[in-house]
Amino acid sequence: MIMGLLLKYKRIVKYLIAGSAGAFTNLVFLYIFTEFIGLWYLISTSLAFVIAFCVSFFLQKFWTFRDGNSEIIYKQMAAYFSVALANLGLNGLLMYFLVDGFGIWYMLAQLITSGSIAIESYWVYKKFIFNRDEQNIVD
């Protein structure tokens, strides 16, 4: 039964794994840059974000959405980055409304916000960024 669900929702499972890999990469490099290299944590955060962004983008493009079209990779990367920035703003906005507006505990609010943004992002990636023609399919 569980295998059946995993196969049915294979792309969504891959999306969640790739997103988790990006988040994990971000934390690992933040720690390495700050604790081992001795960089200021705000610089470490920026560098870790760039590395995690690349990991996440390439996993989502080539593994999750199986988009093998390399001719438009820079256009897709720019769109993906735009979505990431928009999601950063959306995260702050939703957190503000949930915490200050509705009095929800900030950690629960972040879980709700992250889940909402993950759903929105999946839809945007699938419909607009990695929407491929039959000629671009890599199976």
Please give the single-letter amino acid code of residue 35.
E
Angle between helices 41-58 and 73-96 (to 10 degrees): 120
Rounded CA separation 87/48 (Å): 17
Both tokens assigned to 119: 């759903």
The residue whose two tokens read 């200050």 is 100
Rounded CA separation 21/52 (Å): 8
Rounded CA separation 30/8 (Å): 35
Q: What is the mean pLDDT of the chain?
A: 92
What SS3 class is residue 137?
Answer: strand
Model confidence band, residue 4 (pLDDT cutoffs 50, 70, 90): confident
> What is the predicted pLDDT for the residue at 90?
96
> What is the predicted pLDDT for the residue at 133?
57
**95 in Cβ contact with 110 (< 8 Å):** yes
What are the extents of the domains in the chain? Answer: 1-64, 69-139
Both tokens assigned to 98: 């949930």
Tens-place pLDDT, residues 16-36: 999 999 999 999 999 999 999
